[in-house]
Structure 1
Amino acid sequence: MYELKTKENDRSVIEFIETVEKPKKKEDAYRLLDIFTQASGYDAKMWGTSIIGFGSYHYKYPTGHEGDAPLVGFSPRKANFSLYFATGEDREEQLSRFGKHKSGKACVYINKVDDIDTNVLEEMIHSSIEFLNKTYPDQS
């Protein structure tokens, strides 16, 4: 049976950010940490070896595949920052106001925080959490 590699763990978020080599990227990682923490209302947790996640949800697909994932998160990759959001109905409109970025299905890629509108980032965090909480209500 397939086992997810990206799981919440007890590694230190601060120690991870301190491993970021470029000073500006490290500074931006701390800025994103503050924005995501404040906007999400959740403490930052490491997911796998390189994703900083906030909150969590349990998903189960019709195929039977299921697992846990952060509600929102980011990762300071070598080339850029990967920002993780759900694909809610507001996403395209928000991305049109977001600033310089590239996007995939669930990821948005930015080079630096100064390239984006942080108010729109906060909106995207809120929208993603709201969408996931509606889509995957607590199953306890």
Structure 2
Amino acid sequence: MYELKTKENDASVIEFIEKVDNPKKKEDAYKLLDIFIETSGYPAKMWGPSIIGFGSYHYKYATGHEGDAPLVGFSPRKAKISLYFATGDTKRQELLEKFGKHTSGKACVYINKIADIDVEVLKDLITQSIKFLQETYPSE
């Protein structure tokens, strides 16, 4: 059976942020922490060793694979800051067009620093992602 590595745990979010080497990235991580808590309404929790997640949902795919994941989150990685939003949401792309300087992969949106993005659009992305996931995977 496949074992998920990215599980919610009791590690300290603040201790994790304090270990970020780059002072500017650390400052941005604290700003993101405030934005995500305020916008999502959920407390910050560590998911795996390096993702700060907010809220959670349980998913189950047609293949039978299921698990839990944060509704939204971020990780101040060495190269860039990774932001985690719902991937299947059609409004995500519209919002990203107004977001500012970023790149995106399948599941992540990458930014260099908060100064490169529109924080109001970030808040919209957080809100929209949570709404989409809660409608797609309603809690039982």
Identity, % of aligned pairs? 75
Q: What does residue range 1-140 of structure 1 map to in structure 2 within 5 Å?
A: 1-87=1-87, 88-139=89-140
Give me the whole-angstrom Cα distance separating, in 2, the residues matched to 1:112 and 1:4.
29
- TM-score normalised per structure 1: 0.98
CA RMSD between the two structures: 0.5
Structure 1 gaps of 5+ residues are: none
Which stretch of the first structure deviates more once superposed, 85-94 or 55-64? 85-94
Give me the whole-angstrom Cα distance separating, in 2, the residues matched to 1:105 and 1:41.
25
Give me the whole-angstrom Cα distance separating, in 2, the residues matched to 1:58 and 1:20.
30
Helix, strand or coil for the counterpart of 1:98?
coil
Give me the whole-angstrom Cα distance separating, in 2, the residues matched to 1:91 and 1:10.
30
- TM-score normalised per structure 2: 0.98
Give me the whole-angstrom Cα distance separating, in 2, the residues matched to 1:131 and 1:91.
10
- What is the CA distance between 1:106 and its match in structure 2? 1.8
- What is the CA distance between 1:71 and its match in structure 2? 0.1
> Which residue identity is paired with 1:78?
K
Helix, strand or coil for the counterpart of 2:68?
strand
Give me the whole-angstrom Cα distance separating, in 1, the residues matched to 2:16 and 2:112.
19
How many residues of Structure 1 are paired with residues of Structure 2 in the alignment? 139
Structure 2 gaps of 5+ residues are: none
Give me the whole-angstrom Cα distance separating, in 2, the residues matched to 1:106 and 1:72.
11
Runs of 4+ in 1 over 4 A off after TM superposition: none
